[in-house]
Amino acid sequence: MPAGFPGLPSLNALRVFEVVARHLNFRLAAEEIGVTQAAVAQQIRGLEAGLQVRLFERLPRGLGLTDAGHAYSTSVRNALAMIDEATRLLRPAPAHLTVSVTPTFASKWLIPRLGDFAERNPEIDLRVLATERLSHFHTDAVDLAVRYGQPPFANGLNAELLMAPAVIAVASPGLLASAGWPGDFAALQRYVALHDAHNFWPQFCATVFPGHPPATAKTVRFNQTSLAIEAAIGGQGITLASQAFVSDDLAAGRLVQVFPQQLRLDKAFYLVWPRKAQPPAALPIVMAWLKAQVGERKSTV
């Protein structure tokens, strides 16, 4: 016991007392603390014996605070709250950053890499907001967004290129084995064309099969690229997707590239963030990591 506080009960006993005073029930207090009900009762008996004051009235149904117990519980609760606050102030608050991405970008590119980010940056709480709608930096508390398009995006926003997608045609190897490889435009018509919201098929066919009319193959349309990719993995048809989104599926053999040609677009994925006098400290770290991930992927392709 510190010499300056000779009459101070143990901190553990005071913590137990505060919980019991709050619940007025030994069983509920024991559940909150994670000990047995007998251990809670023993702590209270020891505290009352040491103080030589009865803190609780043992009632037929539960407990009640005595006048002394009520006054003591208020003081103890305030003292524990001060200790808790002082302890929290000693620990640096973890840096957090919210990044807004589309669901496809999240599931097919970002999420598989988050383990690497957490291992490299354990002090940063990275929060991912995956939505098809355009997030607003202020109202949605977004610090960084990955947006597909062309800058400038809006006044007051910075933009930096993250990656320029190359769109390729992919299908499951099982589908191609059973239906035959579509080596020409006529053969392509046998397949279901899986569309997403971008509708790259007309441009792609004009690139791969110049001079042919628009493809007339049966189509299935999805509002998210990730759904079209999953349908292709399931053998439902051929889809067009950014190579970055299907690279893991290609490497694992779940998909194969149908044609060697790639569709290059005038739009790209950009890192977008608001111009602020004091941006979050984690912002440059997250941006550098995202760009490094793109660079590592390029070096392995």
Q: How many residues does the chain have?
A: 301
Distance CA 176, CA 193 (A): 13
pLDDT of residue 104: 93
Nearest to residue 285, comparing CAs of 120, 112, 119? 120
Nearest to residue 165, comparing CAs of 269, 258, 249, 238? 269
| 144 belongs to a structural domain | yes
pLDDT of residue 301: 46
Phi, psi of 36 (to 5 degrees): -80, 160
Please say whether the beta carbons of 170 and 255 come within 8 A.
Answer: yes
| 124 belongs to a structural domain | yes
Please say whether the beta carbons of 62 and 24 come within 8 A.
Answer: yes
**In this structure, how many other beta carbons lie within 10 angstroms of the beta carbon of residue 296?**
11
Q: 37-51 and 26-33 helices cross at what angle (nearest 10)?
A: 110
Nearest to residue 268, comparing CAs of 162, 168, 167, 197? 162
- Mean per-residue pLDDT of the chain: 89
Q: Which letter does DSSP use for residue 112 in this model?
A: G
| 4 belongs to a structural domain | no
| 1 belongs to a structural domain | no
Task: Tell whether the model's pLDDT for residue 118 goes beyond 90.
Answer: yes
| 120 belongs to a structural domain | yes
Beta strands 124-130 and 256-257, pairing class: unpaired
Q: Note whether 175 and 229 are same-domain residues.
A: yes
Count of structural domains, the chain: 3
Backbone dihedral region for residue 182 (phi beyond 0: left; psi -120 to 50: alpha; all else: beta):
beta
Report the CATH number that the domain containing residue 101 is assigned in CATH. Answer: 3.40.190.10
Cis status of the peptide bond prior to 165, with omega within 30 of 0: no
Q: Which letter does DSSP use for residue 9 in this model?
A: P
Q: Note whether 138 and 153 are same-domain residues.
A: yes
Please say whether the beta carbons of 82 and 89 come within 8 A.
Answer: no
pLDDT of residue 2: 46
pLDDT of residue 299: 47
Q: Note whether 273 and 131 are same-domain residues.
A: yes
Q: Note whether 151 and 272 are same-domain residues.
A: yes
Q: Note whether 251 and 276 are same-domain residues.
A: no
Q: Could you tell me what percent of the chain has a pLDDT over 90?
A: 65
Q: Note whether 139 and 205 are same-domain residues.
A: no
pLDDT per residue as tens digits for the range 45-64: 999 999 999 999 988 888 99
Residue with tokens 């067009």: 240
Q: Annotate 165-194 with b (16+ C-beta within 10 A) or e (fewer).
A: bebbbbbbeebbeeeeebeeeeebeebbbb
pLDDT of residue 95: 80
Distance CA 23, CA 64 (A): 10
Task: Tell whether the model's pLDDT for residue 202 goes beyond 80.
Answer: yes
Task: Tell whether the model's pLDDT for residue 300 goes beyond 70.
Answer: no
By CB atoms closer than 10 A (0-12, 13-18, 19+), residue 258 is buried
pLDDT of residue 45: 94
Q: Note whether 48 and 195 are same-domain residues.
A: no
Provide mean pLDDT across the span 271-285.
88
The helix (H) or strand (E) run that includes residue 288 is: helix 283-300
Residue with tokens 């790639």: 262
Q: Note whether 22 and 84 are same-domain residues.
A: yes
pLDDT of residue 94: 65
| 86 belongs to a structural domain | yes
Q: Note whether 156 and 189 are same-domain residues.
A: no
pLDDT per residue as tens digits for the range 61-102: 889 999 999 999 999 999 999 998 888 777 766 688 999 999
| 296 belongs to a structural domain | yes
| 199 belongs to a structural domain | yes
Q: Note whether 282 and 156 are same-domain residues.
A: yes
pLDDT per residue as tens digits for the range 207-262: 888 877 666 668 899 999 999 999 999 999 999 999 999 999 999 999 999 999 99
Phi, psi of 211 (to 5 degrees): 90, -10
Domain-terminating residue out of 38, 62, 90 = 90
Which residues constitute the domain of residue 182? 166-264
Q: Note whether 257 and 171 are same-domain residues.
A: yes
Report the CATH number that the domain containing residue 79 is assigned in CATH. Answer: 1.10.10.10
Q: Note whether 160 and 170 are same-domain residues.
A: no
